[in-house]
Structure 1
Amino acid sequence: MTEPARRGLFVTIEGGDGAGKSTQAALLEEWLIEAGRTVVRTREPGGTDFGLEVREIVLHSRGHITARAEALLYAADRAQHIATKVRPALERGEVVIQDRYIDSSVAYQGAGRVLDGSEIRRLSEWATEDLRPDLTILIDLDEDLARQRLNNAEKRFDRLEAEKNDFHRRVRESFLSIASSEPDRFVVVDGALPAGEISTLIRARLAPLLFSPAG
């Protein structure tokens, strides 16, 4: 399928729970606004009203959700989110910073839930009409350190955060495998570094895209 032309920039941030994605998304948004760009910061699930309802189901449902049902819920949220929020922003020439996208489904529902990652990817590509990020930032963090951070935050774990370390190890390995297979799209940063150092690395990789004629 031919992707429609767009003038904006689509940046996704990936990584395991506790890796620091929200912190880096906020720092990146601040930098881009200072550079004079219009920014849409969003997330999956939960970037739309429909997405908030899906988020409540997939992350906080007290009932059992099968792995395939979970994957389909994420894909449904993604279809709505891209069609109603992300594509319009890109067509307006804005920069979209998105916390989680298709790679998260491949890692969490594919590797984590032990489903076929290629099928998970095809489902989301169909749902989004093949919209690909211009850059994906993977914040890589050891699953034990990530769990320590989550524990220190003293927050109530959602369904995915509460999974055992083996689950999160598979998720991390899947993210690294995806990034290794698409080095032109990914920048991988060490989530154990200070937040300011991570932000500097991200800016260095993003700047050529941001300030190029196409960006």
Structure 2
Amino acid sequence: MRQGFFISFEGGEGAGKSTQIERLAQKLRAKKYDVVVTREPGGSPGAEAVRHVILSGAAEQLGPKMEAMLFAAARSDHVEQLIRPAIARGAIVLCDRFVDSSRVYQGVTGGLPSDFMGALEKVTVNGMMPDVTIILDIDPVEGLKRANARRSAGDAPDRFEKETVDTHRRRREAFLAIANAEPERCVVIDAAASPHAVEDAVTEAVFAKLAERATAANSRSAAK
């Protein structure tokens, strides 16, 4: 049985995470991998219920701390009900947003203390961190333009899309700071390129990481 592998995708609004996750999933399935595609907030029945509350803006009036706690509750359910069992059976999990979004959205631009965010993360993740995080980097002005273009006619921007360009710029800087601090986990890819070019870069990065993991596993087996 193949060993499970957890890949998260991060980035600002309109970076193309959903598109690239689906394209990567197709390539992995073609190689006979068991692939699970999921998202945050959401991914499990309990977490999907919380997703509507958060993205509708209904929780915004409760303040950033309560909103972060709702994200944490959704993530805990998501990890235990979907992600951990999938990894245990040897699947590759592709997740649209994970802990880095909380660090950026609730921590950096939400103004919540790092010790509070760290404590929430430790409890909700419970050791289940991504093996690889793909950060799709794009200028916020272009990203918001894309997000507006893909929205169905009559649909309003969600809780986060409607915020100021300056806030989105701070989030971009925060994602890049995370990548700089954790280079072994994070891979930054220019999302302003064409979808096919981004797809090629994502594919190269992910399959390189899978090869590294396989080589390390083989080395450990040979040493026994």
**TM-score between both structures, scaled by the size of structure 1:** 0.92
Residue number in structure 1 paired with 2:179: 179
How far, CA to CA, are the matches of 2:113 and 2:58 in structure 1? Answer: 26
Aligned length: 210
Contact 1:105 1:121 in 2 (8 A): no
Q: Which moved more, 1:86-95 or 1:158-167?
A: 158-167
Q: How big is each residue's C-alpha offset from its partner over 1:104-160, in whole Å with a ceiling of 9 and x where there is no partner?
A: 000000112122245313312211212111100000011111111122224421111
How far, CA to CA, are the matches of 2:95 and 2:164 in structure 1? Answer: 26
Residue number in structure 1 paired with 2:159: 159
Q: Does 1:89 align with 2:86?
A: yes
Deviation at 1:203, TM superposition (A): 1.4
Contact 2:72 2:120 in 1 (8 A): yes
Deviation at 1:30, TM superposition (A): 0.4
Amino acid at match of 1:173: E
Q: Does 1:103 align with 2:100?
A: yes
Q: How big is each residue's C-alpha offset from its partner over 1:153-187, in whole Å with a ceiling of 9 and x where there is no partner?
A: 24421111111112111111110000000111011
Deviation at 1:65, TM superposition (A): 3.0
Q: 1:58 aligns with which of 54, 59, 73?
A: 54
Residue number in structure 2 paired with 1:207: 207
How far, CA to CA, are the matches of 1:186 and 1:160 in structure 2? Answer: 23
How far, CA to CA, are the matches of 1:122 and 1:130 in structure 2? Answer: 13
Residue number in structure 2 paired with 1:194: 194
Contact 1:20 1:139 in 2 (8 A): yes
Q: Which moved more, 1:114-123 or 1:170-179?
A: 114-123
Q: Does 1:75 align with 2:78?
A: no
Q: Which moved more, 1:123-132 or 1:103-112?
A: 123-132
Q: Does 1:8 align with 2:4?
A: yes
How far, CA to CA, are the matches of 2:151 and 2:200 in structure 1? Answer: 28
SS in 2 for 1:183: coil
Deviation at 1:62, TM superposition (A): 4.1
Gapped runs of 5+ residues in structure 1?
1-5
Amino acid at match of 2:116: E
Contact 2:10 2:134 in 1 (8 A): yes
How far, CA to CA, are the matches of 2:116 and 2:3 in structure 1? Answer: 30
Residue number in structure 2 paired with 1:169: 169
Deviation at 1:7, TM superposition (A): 2.5
Percent of aligned pairs with the same amino acid = 38
Q: Which moved more, 1:164-173 or 1:95-104?
A: 164-173
Distance 1:201 1:96, change over 3 A: same
How far, CA to CA, are the matches of 1:198 and 1:174 in structure 2? Answer: 21
Q: 2:13 aligns with which of 11, 17, 25?
A: 17
Amino acid at match of 1:21: K
Deviation at 1:51, TM superposition (A): 1.1
How far, CA to CA, are the matches of 1:127 and 1:152 in structure 2? Answer: 34
Contact 1:12 1:137 in 2 (8 A): yes
Q: How big is each residue's C-alpha offset from its partner over 1:12-56, in whole Å with a ceiling of 9 and x where there is no partner?
A: 000011110000000110000001100000001110111111001
Residue number in structure 2 paired with 1:3: none
Segments of 4+ in structure 1 off by > 6 A? none
Amino acid at match of 1:41: V
Q: How big is each residue's C-alpha offset from its partner over 1:64-117, in whole Å with a ceiling of 9 and x where there is no partner?
A: 231001100001100010011000000000000001000000000011212224
Amino acid at match of 1:35: K
Q: Does 1:140 align with 2:137?
A: yes
Contact 2:57 2:158 in 1 (8 A): no
Gapped runs of 5+ residues in structure 2?
219-224
SS in 1 for 2:162: coil
How far, CA to CA, are the matches of 1:154 and 1:134 in structure 2? Answer: 31
